[in-house]
Structure 1
Amino acid sequence: MAGLSLRCGDCGAHLKSVEEAQEHAELTSHTNFSESTEAVLNLVCTACGKPCRSKIETDLHTKRTGHADFVDKTSEAAKPIELEAPKAPMESEESAVAPAESNQSEEMVVPEVDKNLLAELESMGFPTARATRALHFSGNSSLEAAINWVADHEDDPDIDQMPMVPVNTQAETGKLSLTPEEVKMKAQELRERARKKKEEEEKKMEREREKERIRIGKELLEAKRIEEENERKRLLALRKAEKEEEKRAREKIRQKLEEDKAERRRKLGLPPEDPEAAKPSSTVVEEKKSFLPVRPASKAERMRDCLRSLKQHQKDEDAKVKRAFQTLLTYVGNIAKNPDEEKFRKIRVNNPTFQDRVGSLHGGIDFLEICGFQKLDNNEFLFLPRDKVDMAVLNSAGSELNSAIANPFFGVL
């Protein structure tokens, strides 16, 4: 199959003619070219008709004009490449077409342009043919005029073809009007404008990146908030399930007690208990209360009530309750082991550790007072006198504390 393009082996670019390959070699110093069956892309903008030869060109065109629709006409424009030496075109952009009846064709040459301006344009990245055409048709006046001409004619199909003019026209071309100093000033001005434009684009890109960082930060915060909300809902559901489980456990225990009671009545030969009859009326209760003597609560029961109150007031902080119970057990155990040591029988109430573990909790100080501690010096100290140390009371306190620590249902049922 005939070659449809020339491929640069150094950078991979596809070129559609020998002229383009020569210009590419002059600009890049690449010399490794080979014939390729892959045609040069021809993506035509449906809005303005501009041809683009790569995805990069289409992206730049879209960014500059907003046109985003392109038609692939690569197959229509593809044709076998001519590997013969390129021939100079026979007409320029503004030269008139020779009459059909002319017997001789006028000799055409490349127009002379300012070499310094041409070098400046080439250093800025313009191909030699495009820079020569721009200088020629802008009148060799300035770099700015040449660049403006390129901007106005970048869609011309022959923008990268070397301009040709008749010999007579070339001979009549006037001399340049700018001095070398003016050319340098113009070039410096253009470079400065290009630098400022690049800085503005970089600032714009930085603003876009900052906006993107802010957007990502907001999304991360929102995701974290949703995750925390889901975790809170999960904990609430778990706590509700635990309460339901405790409720079922209490009901099961109650049913078991009722069954045991009914079994005992059956073994004793008593009739089953009537639930309605088993409930004494309020009047009967009041009468019983009024006639029966009330047994005062023992110290062990009062201790148990203090511990139960402490647990219920801190029902959502099991670790804190357990630490309070263990601290009280330590106080009681130290006194029981060393009753003569005053340091174990005297507690500073405003001590931060004591306040955090026992003093600030409901029922903590009351428990110690039941054990025999007394408040001294305007409630600044809790003190257990040596003669008030009761080993039976301390042993009861230790038993109640151990039971509260070991029983998972303590204070719940």
Structure 2
Amino acid sequence: MAGVSLKCGDCGALLRSVEEAQEHAELTSHSNFAESTEAILNLVCTTCGKPCRSKTESDLHTKRTGHTVFVDKTSEAAKPISLEVPKATAESNQAGNASTSQPEEMVVPEVDKKLLEELEAMGFPTARATRALHYSGNAGIEAAVNWVVEHEDDSDIDQMPLVPVNTKFEAPKPSLTPEELKVKQQELREKARKKKEEEEKRVEKEKEKERIRVGKELLEAKRIEEENERKRILALRKAEKEEEKRAREKIRQKLEEDKAERRRKLGLPPEDPSAVKPSPVVEEKKSSLPVRPATKAEQMRESLRSLKQNHKDDDAKVKRAFQTLLTFVGNVARNPDEEKFRKIRLSNQSFQERVGAFSGGIEFLELCGFEKIEGGEFLFLPRDKVDMAVLNSAGAELDSAIKNPFFGVL
């Protein structure tokens, strides 16, 4: 495909012709140009017809005029570029090269000092004000300010401009009386002040909106956290009450058995069951409600109770086993995607000392979803079988078993 532009290899600027490339080289001292198939952007304002060669230029035009609608005519303006140097330009370059072999001396251009002082009084740096007056042709304060607005994103905006030493300064023709000039300057200052205030108000408004949004998110997160904590505490309390109720019933049954044993040793006849007032608990057992199957949480609780009763002579090791199981469950709940937390080697010495040696420990992990694999060498919980509700129930039962002094007493 034929090239449609020249691209500066030093700064990336796209140029329409060899003449533009030469002008760019004179202004920037860049010399690395290459033919490019990338077309120069041509955004035409539908309101005033001004063509813009970049998105930045169209944004500046919108900022200055308020015009927001542009038509992309890049494809219409794209034409194969000619790499031939115009004859007149070539001849002038040859003449220039023949006339001197040394680079021409460059100096700071002369500008209208009064206009320069006015721009400095408005807060513009000397270099920026000088550049604005020079490139706007010393046409006046408003023209210089407009030039600054259009070129405020230029990388060299605050560099002092340089021109050949023989460049003549032409003073601008006065078009306004001193009184009109003062009024115009005052209007420009007022406009700049209002623009700055509006920008500050807009920024402050955006900051306030962001603070409100962040505040709402923090409040909502705190509310959800408190609600989850409240539910967890209620669940723990309910489990503890149920455990205490079962413990009291077992104690009552044990007392009845001891009482019957003492009557037997004393040779007394067994107590007439009809004369014994049924307890509220017995009445509850005579209810006609159907017996529901044991839930997963109840199976876990029974597994832990069996483990403690089978090893009731070594309470410290039982507690350590509960804490180890709680660590396994917690690691999976917090990192369900980490396989290392979902795979346990049964032959591991630490696992055997803490859990494997206790009857009921491996069974509890299987209730949590772990499965024996590779001939029973490992316990593994597949990722698709990780059930957060089951893991939360397991954590609650283990926490209750560790903290409840009545757990597994009988």
TM-score of the aligned structures, taking structure 1 as reference length: 0.39
Instruction: Kindly name which structure, 1 or 2, has the bigger radius of gyration based on alpha carbons.
Output: 1
TM-score of the aligned structures, taking structure 2 as reference length: 0.40
